[in-house]
Amino acid sequence: MLGLVMLVGALLPYARANQVDAVAGIEPLKDIAINVNRHLQSEDGSVLLFIRTGIWKPHGDLYLRNEQILNHFEGFQQGTHLELNTYDAERGLEAEPIFSMTGQLDVLNNQIQMQMLDNRTGQMRKVKFVPYIPVPDRPRVKLRLLGFREPDGWHRLLLKRIEITDALSGKLMQVLNGENAEQTSYVDYEDINFDGYFDLRVMNRFNDGMNSTYLYWLYNPRNKQFERAPEYEAITGYVNTVFWCKELRFTEATYSWRTGSMQPAQMCDAWRE
């Protein structure tokens, strides 16, 4: 149920959430989660945080700029409360975490109040994480996924449409055509062109994972609409972002947004900017 209706990371009541849409013959896709992938930094800019929220097992990367150390972490989310531990990728989760973190997610403002315990020194500190690229007019939205389960074959979940609603006013902002996109477990809500606004990525066809295709909608602040991005859709495979490098890492290619548009690039050092 986490992904059914999402306010940039947290579930809110939604009157029609469990109703079938009689007109279109479709219903909410209850089994599809919405990953809200956040690009954040500490207020003093010394710590960068990439975190996937809105799912039962949040995870991501913690980058200490001064030490040039990249820590992977994972943990748990209950409502807006986070419990996270970093780990050594080479030693696995059995190793003692370098940092133990508890946090409170401020969904509306895209911020996290975090307490970070450095297990190396025993030092505890409070850190407020804020958007890496702040924008004053970022929309607060609910996403509602509607579709149906294929009756034959593999009983695939097919996405027919995405309803985007203003979370504050309840007004329907936009309806996106899902084009019968084949769903497996989640969609992504993340800034993937590094302008500070969340965009939308949806799996289109599952092709052995590595070569799957995706649908993309980039948010346009000028007309306040999500617009299809064919330049992204032409590239197969899942894309991971390294936001401090303004970099997109697809399965077989890397692109940079440093010049203001997507250009082929060499992979930047994930530990340095």
Averaged pLDDT for residues 197-208: 89
Angle at 224 between CA 223 and CA 227, to 5 degrees: 85
Angle at 33 between CA 27 and CA 39, to 5 degrees: 135
* Residue written as token pair 């089994």: 31
Identify the residue with better confidence: 237 or 43: 43
* pLDDT band, residue 273 (cuts 50/70/90): low
Alpha-carbon distance of 70 to 209, in angstroms, equals 26
pLDDT at position 13 is: 32
Averaged pLDDT for residues 89-103: 79
pLDDT at position 163 is: 96
Q: What are phi and psi of 16, to 5 degrees?
A: -100, 10
* pLDDT band, residue 267 (cuts 50/70/90): confident
> 41: which 2 tokens?
């930094």
Alpha-carbon distance of 149 to 143, in angstroms, equals 19
pLDDT at position 89 is: 65
pLDDT at position 233 is: 93
Is the pLDDT at 21 greater than 70, yes or no?
no
pLDDT at position 269 is: 67
pLDDT at position 14 is: 35
> 215: which 2 tokens?
């649908």
Mean pLDDT for all residues in the chain: 85
* pLDDT band, residue 207 (cuts 50/70/90): confident
pLDDT at position 177 is: 93
pLDDT tens-digit series, residues 127-157: 999 999 999 999 999 999 999 887 765 667 8
Alpha-carbon distance of 52 to 76, in angstroms, equals 11
* pLDDT band, residue 24 (cuts 50/70/90): low
Percent of the chain past pLDDT 70, that is, above it, reads 84
pTM: 0.86
Is the pLDDT at 64 greater than 70, yes or no?
yes
Is the pLDDT at 7 greater than 90, yes or no?
no
Identify the residue with better confidence: 142 or 87: 142
Is the pLDDT at 30 greater than 90, yes or no?
no
